[in-house]
Structure 1
């Protein structure tokens, strides 16, 4: 039999000085799992990396088919397309889910090439694959962090603005009010300066948990950065209802926190704005909420004001200035 040919038509060849045992050593040493089957997909050989990835030993898989690795997550059409590509082009690559001997399912990147004999008939299939679970987890984490705060796991500014946009669209269709609240922590900088940033991060996580406990499932709590948080209250009944929710959150913040045994006391200054009374779009609502929060801080912090509380005074100031 002549040297087998790859699907591309190029013959596999070794230089005169390269012994077959060196090729086998290279296959044994590679970190990629390698599996060789005959044309009927009966497993003929695997390398040590195959066993490390799948948990199956060489003795356990020789003579069997790759079906022992099937996770059940790919349907019959998936495999039909794979085999069609292999017979038509001699090559297939992609990602799929397989199952280890232990039963654990893992994501895998797989490349399969057909090896043809001198007559052009498929003689072998060579599959090379790797476990990509860690890569997938990194990708998932990066995707998650694009819309969530790394310290508190709360939605970040991008996700908050997206939910606010959707909330406003729904409020317009249904004719229901909506409230946007900005809240800054009072005393957080002192905690950071006294106990360090690690303690500050721990406090932020505890703050997030307490604030969420005072909100409805339909509400959104986000960390915008530093010690600034935002709350979206969709379908809030009235200004009074919005005020009650925020005051409940503020009361929770005033209870002592404990960091490594040290008691820490903080608070929160909040300003809110209502749709449609104080603004028709996200930018205007956030501007009004920020003005209300600034007024709370000007008066001494720790309170909550809605933009409607300060609008008459601001109108009077503009009138005097004019």
Structure 2
């Protein structure tokens, strides 16, 4: 039997044409822990608005799944049954659906999660269903385009924050470690002043392509943050593994040997970076790790600049200066 990585399973769910959501059955509030893009298409609600919300905030009418108490010996009503529900729409009102309730188990016994899968709209025709599937595909393609930065050629800041929030929620629920690396293209403004905007954009695309090419696992994700910064999300990795990845990317960019005549660091384009990993606390926000890494990057750059200043040659006489500058 092949053991599939959880990231692969989530990607498979994301490709489904039927709307579905997963609920934590053992939490009193029955919070939503996952929705697929088809759910977003159907309701108009983004995953970021739904993850963590109680199911009673999303279902306006109909039978709700019950909370499961693992300490109680009596099992809840069996899953794998059909329900009729009215799901909330972002534009207002609701849509009536026939849904399938299925129990998900982490181990034999009582369910850990409930899976609600759209079977059909209570009032839809086959033609309407086909149209909605086409709209789902179009929305997914459009969303992919909207999340790509045209200059850097990788996901844009909004796309990064969306994936960060999703992966943070998963890591917090499963108490897994999540790592972030933020790369800074050193002296990018000076490079742009010398070679122009188009050359700078070409440089960013080369670096973005290089960083993306170093991502080996399906769940790892790279994006452009703006202001000369790229960011990478790495799941289930130690500090040492994240550091090794960052240093490998820095070395690869250095080996591109892209000339930079105004860099005080080297003759070629270089990267600086900050990195950290964290097992998310239940009360921590997803942007705290990113802010910590960016602060570390700023400190490293300041320390490197101070070190260069300390090691710079000093000219004690006018003759020394003239000899160096000839």
Q: With structure 1 as the length reference, what TM-score do the two structures score?
A: 0.46
Bigger strand fraction: 1
Bigger CA radius of gyration: 1
Q: With structure 2 as the length reference, what TM-score do the two structures score?
A: 0.46
